[in-house]
């Protein structure tokens, strides 16, 4: 009889999820702190390469060092690496041009774009509630990015470019989510996590001709820490879903806004604007509407199975 690798421990699940979110916020802050000295492609290398030892230790601790790294669809990992590395590079470039809370807020649009791409690429049906969620979320995105795109001159031009970078990375992350939905049918989570970091490390080297620099000791330390912290955060995030369902944990993603505001203010003096917070609130509202709908669909499917299965 197979032993289940999951258990329902909601307190532990929430603790792991919040810890992961905090560490991801810290990782973003570490990258932002080096953005004036190090180009985005070099930051991608440090973030990816120094996460690999952490990931390998995690896989070994699970006893999956051999089986967990088997790639049944190598090209799937390759394309996930291409898209994910591009998204990471754009995010890191945007972090150097925008306040940390604003980068976090625009990133909340990922589930909205995932819904749109799921309908276009996977043929998933989007009914009125989901359509409403998409529209609410898109309005929120426009509120956040419009002040950045609606003017010219100096800093505003840099901020506009940053907003476009983050918006593009958000769309690419949505594409990654769609791609991973297909990959998990044949690939282990450990393989997906490991090969992404390995692929991103290699792909980032292609940016060497575009201005890599020899970082100072302090900058190098921050970059290495970003890789280690990002690797630990990925493990904690993955582990959280072993102790609680995704639908229960999804709302805790928005704790990242609190962490981003606190870290952004304490480290960089970033103060979120009312316009940004208003747009973020709409995007969050759209996402919560999707979470609520998915929860009810899950209950309906469970009731349907209990009726159709006489053993239930």
DSSP structural state of residue 16: H
Q: What percent of the chain has pLDDT over 90?
A: 52
Whether residue 85 is predicted with pLDDT greater than 90 in this model: the reply is yes
Question: Are 238 and 64 within 8 A, CB to CB?
Answer: no
Instruction: Report the distance separating Cα 147 and Cα 229, nearest Å.
Output: 33
Question: How confident is the model over 32-81, as pLDDT tens digits?
Answer: 999 999 999 999 999 999 999 999 999 998 888 888 899 989 999 999 99
What's residue 240's pLDDT? 86
Label residue 166 exposed, middle or buried (CB < 10 Å: 0-12, 13-18, 19+).
buried
What's residue 151's pLDDT? 56
Q: What is the mean pLDDT of the chain?
A: 86
Rounded average pLDDT over 96-106: 94
Cα angle 157-270-89, degrees, rounded to a multiple of 5? 55
Instruction: Report the distance separating Cα 239 and Cα 8, nearest Å.
Output: 12
Q: pTM of whole model > 0.75?
A: yes
What's residue 6's pLDDT? 53
Least confident segment among 22-31, 37-46, 109-118, 122-131? 122-131
Question: Are 200 and 74 within 8 A, CB to CB?
Answer: no
Find where tokens 């394309």 sit: 79
Listed in sequence order, the residues at least 6 apart from 32 whose beta carbon sits closer than 8 Å to its beta carbon are: 95, 96, 100, 268
Whether residue 293 is predicted with pLDDT greater than 80 in this model: the reply is no
Question: How confident is the model over 163-203, as pLDDT tens digits?
Answer: 999 999 999 999 998 888 788 888 888 899 999 999 999 99
Question: How confident is the model over 213-262, as pLDDT tens digits?
Answer: 999 999 999 999 999 999 999 899 888 877 877 767 777 888 999 999 99
């Amino acid at each position: 009889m197979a032993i289940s690798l999951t258990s329902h421990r909601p307190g532990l699940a929430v603790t792991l999820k919040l810890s992961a979110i905090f560490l991801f916020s810290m990782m973003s802050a570490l990258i932002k702190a080096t953005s004036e000295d190090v180009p985005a492609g070099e930051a991608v290398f440090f973030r990816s390469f120094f996460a690999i030892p952490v990931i390998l230790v995690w896989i070994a601790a699970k006893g999956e060092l051999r089986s967990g790294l088997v790639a049944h669809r190598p090209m799937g990992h390759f394309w996930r690496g291409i898209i994910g590395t591009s998204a990471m590079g754009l995010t890191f470039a945007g972090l150097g041009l925008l306040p940390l809370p604003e980068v976090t807020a625009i990133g909340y649009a990922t589930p909205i774009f995932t819904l749109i791409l799921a309908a276009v690429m996977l043929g998933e049906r989007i009914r009125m509630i989901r359509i409403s969620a998409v529209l609410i979320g898109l309005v929120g995105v426009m509120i956040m990015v419009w002040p950045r795109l609606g003017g010219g001159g100096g800093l505003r031009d840099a901020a506009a470019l940053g907003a476009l970078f983050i918006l593009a990375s958000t769309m690419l992350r949505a594409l990654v989510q769609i791609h991973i939905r297909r990959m998990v049918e044949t690939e282990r989570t450990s393989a997906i996590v490991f090969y992404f970091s390995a692929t991103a490390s290699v792909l980032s080297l292609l940016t060497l001709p575009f201005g890599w620099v020899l970082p100072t000791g302090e900058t190098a330390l921050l970059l290495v820490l970003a890789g280690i912290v990002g690797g630990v955060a990925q493990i904690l995030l993955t582990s959280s879903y072993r102790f609680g369902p995704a639908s229960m944990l999804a709302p805790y993603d928005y704790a990242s806004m609190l962490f981003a505001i606190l870290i952004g203010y304490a480290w960089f003096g970033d103060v979120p604007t009312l316009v940004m917070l208003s747009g973020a609130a709409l995007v969050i509202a759209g996402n919560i509407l999707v979470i609520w709908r998915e929860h009810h669909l899950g209950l309906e499917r469970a009731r349907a199975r209990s009726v159709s299965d006489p053993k239930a």
